[in-house]
Amino acid sequence: MEDHRLYMQRCLDLAAQGTGNVAPNPMVGSVVVWNGKIIGEGFHRRYGGPHAEAEAIRSVRNPSLLKNSTLYVNLEPCAHHGKTPPCADLIVARHIPRVVIGTPDIHPVVAGKGLEKLTKGGCRVETGVLEEACRDLNKRFFTFHERKRPFVILKWAQSADGFIDTERHPGDQTPPVWITGEFERRLVHKWRAEEAAIMVGTHTALKDNPRLNVRHWDGPQPVRMVLDRTASLPRRLHLFDGSQDTWVFTEKPSRREGRTEWIQLSFDGTLLNQIMNLLYQRNILSLFVEGGAILLRSFLQKGCWDEARVFTGHQLFQKGVRAPAPPGESASSTLFEKSRLEWYVNTSPGA
């Protein structure tokens, strides 16, 4: 069993290399072991590309060893034709006698079918190795399919006395006060690259004129999202520079200009549910919410969040925009030179 955990951990390490590049697919890694030695390994590198099992099998230099090997993979092999052929069929065709799986897949077209194909094909199948870690790696994927909504991450920075911003008004040209340091700002850009979409509210768009892109890290750009009930945000804002896909949620009629799309929704008590349903329909696995306070509180009050990442700086604002109350007890804390990061996990997420 100790060896099982060792090889499965290697699968997880490989799978993590696909972060930000494989959604809406899950992150998957695989290794092929013969006589106590890893002879092949691979991971799902990009959406639409070869799956981890196919990559691992292809990397084995001496294919004759496969018939006496064990294949490890952190997620149940697929059994359907999608953008690639079924991995379960490939494993059976290569006469691999033993397959060790971290966790079953819950996607309707896969769930249980991969296990069934492997078993009927003569493979000895074992499951549940490092299952919790395997589910945690693909928490976005599992949340999306179990809750029918994206995995929601809230992020904000607050002063030492609990303010998210000083007293500023849209259009007064007062720049924001940086609460965190350069290292933390680079970390936030890394986080952006890991998520499918990023969202702000109207006031944040007006006061901060954010780009909401990944420029201090190497990674894909998320879909930018902003609330604009009256569709009155000025076109001079960075959000409308056409550099990446941008969705504007509004009460005005839907339309599209280049990479910017205005999407009509009802701005009533169901707005958040409407957005979650839309993102689910459009295969957006994860959403990174960067504030401001009104938008953050709406997610917190509905219980519609999975993680909250809160930076607290050393400054005292004394007055301004109050930050949301801490959502419970932090799961972890990290100290930086100019701030402290508290990481919260919602143990009973809502809608």
pLDDT tens sequence across 89-107: 999 999 999 999 999 998 8
Which tens digits make up the pLDDT trace of 146-194?
A: 999 999 999 999 999 999 999 877 666 677 888 999 999 999 999 999 9
User: Measured at the alpha carbon of residue 340, what is the angle toward residues 334 and 344, in degrees to the nearest 5?
Assistant: 65
Task: Give every strand in the sheet of 223-227, ordered side by side.
Answer: 255-257, 260-264, 246-250, 223-227, 197-200, 286-289, 151-158, 307-313, 339-345, 332-335
pLDDT for 135 beyond 90: yes
Angle between helices 271-281 and 293-302 (to 10 degrees): 80
First to last CA, the chain: 38
pLDDT for 111 beyond 70: yes
* Tokens 């004759």 -> residue: 64
- The pLDDT of residue 249 is 98
Which tens digits make up the pLDDT trace of 46-84?
A: 999 999 999 999 999 999 999 999 999 999 999 866 667
Q: Say which of 2, 41, 53, 126 is annotated catalytic.
A: 53
3-state SS class at 159: coil
Which tens digits make up the pLDDT trace of 297-348?
A: 999 999 999 999 999 999 999 999 999 999 999 999 999 999 999 999 998 8
The neighbouring-strand residues paired with 341 are 311, 334
- 307 carries an active-site annotation: no
Q: What is the pTM of this model?
A: 0.93
